Amino acid sequence: MIKPDAQRLLKTLHELLLIDSPVGATAAIETDMMRRLAAFPVAVEQGARGNVLATWGEGPPRRAIAAHVDTLGAMVQSVRANGRPELTPLGTWSARFAEGARATVRTVHGEVRGTILPLLASGHAWNDGVDQQPVGWQQVELRLDAPVATREDAVALGIQPGDIVCIDPQPEFLPNGYVVSRFLDNKAALACVLEALHGLQEAGITPAVPACFAFTNAEETGHGAGNMLPRSVEDLISVDIAPVASNQASDEQRATLGFKDASGPHSLTLLTQLEELAAGQNIPVVRDVFRHYHSDCSSVMKAGYDTRTALVGFGTDSTHGHERTHLNSLLAVTALLTAWLCSA
């Protein structure tokens, strides 16, 4: 069994979290992934839409691992009369989790910092009214850290509809193994896949079955891997977040095998193989079923691929919000991916 390097995995994760990559603005993370992949014995290509595909092994790839590089974010919808931009979400997430977030607006003139606030943001001015206002994207605005009091002031800064708004991830790595940050979905999956590649390379092992690694850039808006996988791929594992909640089996200490999500059931053949590998190598896993969930597997299914699919997730609390996972879950995911790549 190839043991993941925990410290390297966490270092990689921290570096990835610091690269803004909201869906629709992923060029920087794509460039970073291409740089990282150059260290491995893989053939790398990038499509016109920016998706990155790395292939390892002789002949057409029959296995694939997918992990998306894009995250949630926001975009300027319009500029209010008070000079504060109204926002529209990139990806599906609640404005409840956006309130109080520090953010950067990317304009044609440069970057402008700010804070996302509810329309009634002063306790001294509104008292109980702050608690009584509705939750929603039309109920928040972006306070710009610049002398702005009118729409004209904001326009003079370069603020205009369509500007990308990057949310600060605010990562925190605790000594007890917990990792707290926005956008663990899906930077943690990227770190796990990269660590699996490191493990194989250091052990001098080539995947037992030719494999490709798909790094997609629009999973949060439903596109995912459906336009980039080679048709030779027979088995696909999507590595993504696993929600921890009162009605879910996932937890932050184990890897999750997702048997069903909003796209339907995944392959029992592939999931059984993963369960047997986990049992044989004492990798802690748990089964789960997700109702409000899509992954890169979903887009592949919809695209009509003749491909078996499975979902492998890292247990995370407060998904698409103030996310938290644990190193143990990340290590379990990495170990399972490595075991699968080494299996015949």
Task: Determine, yes or no, domain membership for 235.
Answer: yes
Task: Determine, yes or no, domain membership for 175.
Answer: no
pLDDT of residue 223: 87
Residues 29 and 113 in one domain: no
Q: Is 50 left (phi over 0), alpha (psi -120 to 50) or beta?
A: left
Task: Determine, yes or no, domain membership for 112.
Answer: yes
- Indicate the DSSP class of residue 4: P
Residues 216 and 312 in one domain: yes
Residues 54 and 103 in one domain: no
Domain boundary residue, one of 119, 137, 167 = 167
Residues in the chain: 344
Residues 240 and 117 in one domain: no
Task: Determine, yes or no, domain membership for 262.
Answer: yes
Binding positions for Zn(2+) are 68, 185, 220, 240, 320
Task: Determine, yes or no, domain membership for 323.
Answer: yes
Task: Determine, yes or no, domain membership for 313.
Answer: yes
Residues 52 and 116 in one domain: no
pTM over 0.75: yes
User: Nearest CA to 70 among 240, 238, 215, 217?
Assistant: 217
Domain that holds residue 154: 73-167
Residues 148 and 230 in one domain: no
Q: What is the pLDDT along the chain (344 residues), one digit of tens a residue?
A: 899 999 999 999 999 999 999 999 999 999 999 999 999 999 999 999 999 999 999 999 999 999 999 999 999 999 999 999 999 999 999 999 999 999 999 999 999 999 999 999 998 998 999 999 999 999 999 999 999 999 999 999 999 999 999 999 999 999 999 999 999 999 999 999 999 999 999 999 999 999 999 999 999 998 888 889 999 999 999 999 999 999 999 999 999 999 999 999 999 999 999 999 999 999 999 999 999 999 999 999 999 999 999 999 999 999 999 999 999 999 999 999 999 999 99
Taking the CA atoms of residue 299, residue 301, residue 303 and residue 305 in that order, the dihedral angle to the nearest 10 degrees is: 130
Residues 142 and 214 in one domain: no
pLDDT of residue 267: 98
The enclosing domain of 37 has a CATH number of: 3.40.630.10
pLDDT of residue 227: 86
pLDDT of residue 64: 99
The enclosing domain of 108 has a CATH number of: 2.40.30.40
Residues 252 and 326 in one domain: yes
Distance CA 106, CA 305 (A): 37
Whether 275 is catalytic: no
Angle at 295 between CA 176 and CA 336, to 5 degrees: 50
Taking the CA atoms of residue 288, residue 273, residue 233 and residue 34 in that order, the dihedral angle to the nearest 10 degrees is: 70
Amino acid sitting at position 48: A
Instruction: Determine how many CB atoms are found less than 10 A away from the CB of residue 285.
Output: 19
Task: Determine, yes or no, domain membership for 45.
Answer: yes
The total of structural domains in the chain comes to 2
Binding positions are 68, 185, 220, 240, 320
Residues 112 and 130 in one domain: yes
pLDDT of residue 44: 98
Task: Determine, yes or no, domain membership for 295.
Answer: yes
Residues 163 and 203 in one domain: no
Check 219, 252, 275, 323 and give the catalytic one.
219
Residues 287 and 309 in one domain: yes
Domain boundary residue, one of 167, 197, 226 = 167
Taking the CA atoms of residue 251, residue 294, residue 94 and residue 220 in that order, the dihedral angle to the nearest 10 degrees is: 120
